[in-house]
Amino acid sequence: CSSDLAGGIRNGSYDIGLACGVESMTLREVGNPGNVSSRMMDNEKARDCIIPMGITSENVAERFGVTRERQDAFAFSSQQRAARAQRTGKFKAEIVPVTTTVTDDKGATRTITVTQDEGIRPSTTLEGLAKLRPAFKENGSTTAGNSSQVSDGAAAVLMAKRKKAVQMGLPIIGVLRSFAVVGVPPDIMGIGPAYAIPAALKKAGLTVDDVDVYEINEAFSSQAVYCIEKLGIPEDKVNPNGGAVALGHPLGCTGARQVVTLLNELQRRGKRAYGVVSMCIGTGMGAAAVFEYPGN
């Protein structure tokens, strides 16, 4: 969403706009790829586009040697970081409370206000993760514990030309410096960030080492670990407040949510800095964007 919006702002179609995304993963029908043409089955690459995402994770783990132990360790770190961030109030500035009515299994309704992410599990242990069974393949390494969890969410980012933002008295907390989308084999779609990030950095005239914080989506620990190691990114620079393993991955929401989390983290640090947002995309793509925080 934000890339299309930024493009429109750059070409003069408009001066300001909202990039919004929403997803309800809990309403998703597992195993149903949607209304797809039967002709897809006539082409190998097209068929690969509807491989279950969990199998693409297993493919990455097998082809690139990402062990179960490494995946579990990464997932454990994500949960711990997210729990610490939530406990210290880091997410409060980026979450808008939502009041809604819920109905339980017995038909009783009640009104609740959601003020924080519900999926973070502070009690997660490596021992507990090791006990989980493979979720997608017999003798596989991808489990419910080292994958992004099923969750619902929405996020929005306000973008504008600098002149318009100043005119309206809006705070400038980040500048979009570059954006890139790449294609990768659909059956290992999770490797997308490993190729999208270098493309975006090249456009911005930066190197991997120039970036202070990376928000790389944790669709699965297997692919996140591969991308981090492939690019040689220090792990303390990646998802310092946890990622999708702990926070969830509502597909349409993820990109905007990552931008919000990134810019808030850079703002807390106070100094001029660069940050990168990146995610893999089902059917074989990767996307990345480079942001600059101008400093306090």
Distance from C-alpha of 171 to C-alpha of 162, rounded to nearest angstrom: 10
Mean pLDDT for the stretch of residues 110-131: 96
- Mean pLDDT, residues 89-98: 95
pLDDT digits (tens, 9 = 90+) for 131-171: 999 999 999 999 999 999 889 999 999 999 999 999 999 99
Residue of 1, 49, 227, 253 with catalytic role = 1
Question: For residue 40, what pLDDT band results from cuts at 50, 70 and 90?
Answer: confident
Label residue 32 by pLDDT band (50, 70, 90).
Answer: low
Give the whole-angstrom CA distance, residue 71 versus residue 76: 9
**Has this prediction a pTM greater than 0.85?**
yes
Calpha distance 291→3 (Å, rounded): 12
CB atoms within 10 A of CB 37: 8
Q: Report, as an integer, the average pLDDT of 77-81.
A: 98
d(CA 253, CA 115) in angstroms, rounded, equals 17
Q: Residues 258, 276: contact at Cβ < 8 Å?
A: no
| pLDDT grade for 34, boundaries at 50, 70 and 90 | low
Q: Is the pLDDT of residue 31 over 80?
A: no
**Which tokens belong to 121?**
């599990």
Q: Which amino acid is at 290?
A: V
Task: Give the tens place of pLDDT for each residue, 225-277.
Answer: 999 999 999 999 999 999 999 999 999 999 999 999 999 999 999 999 999 99
Q: What percent of the chain has pLDDT over 90?
A: 86
pLDDT of residue 239: 98
Q: Please tell me which residue, 14 or 41, carries the higher pLDDT value.
A: 14
Q: Residues 175-189: pLDDT tens digits? A: 999 999 999 999 999
Residue 227 designated active-site: no
| Average pLDDT of span 209-235 | 98
Amino acid at 35: N
Options 20, 49, 227, 280, the catalytic residue = 280
Query: Is the pLDDT score of 1 beyond 60?
Result: no
Residue 30 is predicted with a pLDDT of: 67
Confidence of residue 94 (pLDDT cuts 50, 70, 90): very high
Catalytic residue among 49, 227, 249, 253: 249
What pLDDT score does 29 carry?
72
> pLDDT of 267-283, one tens digit each?
999 999 999 999 999 99
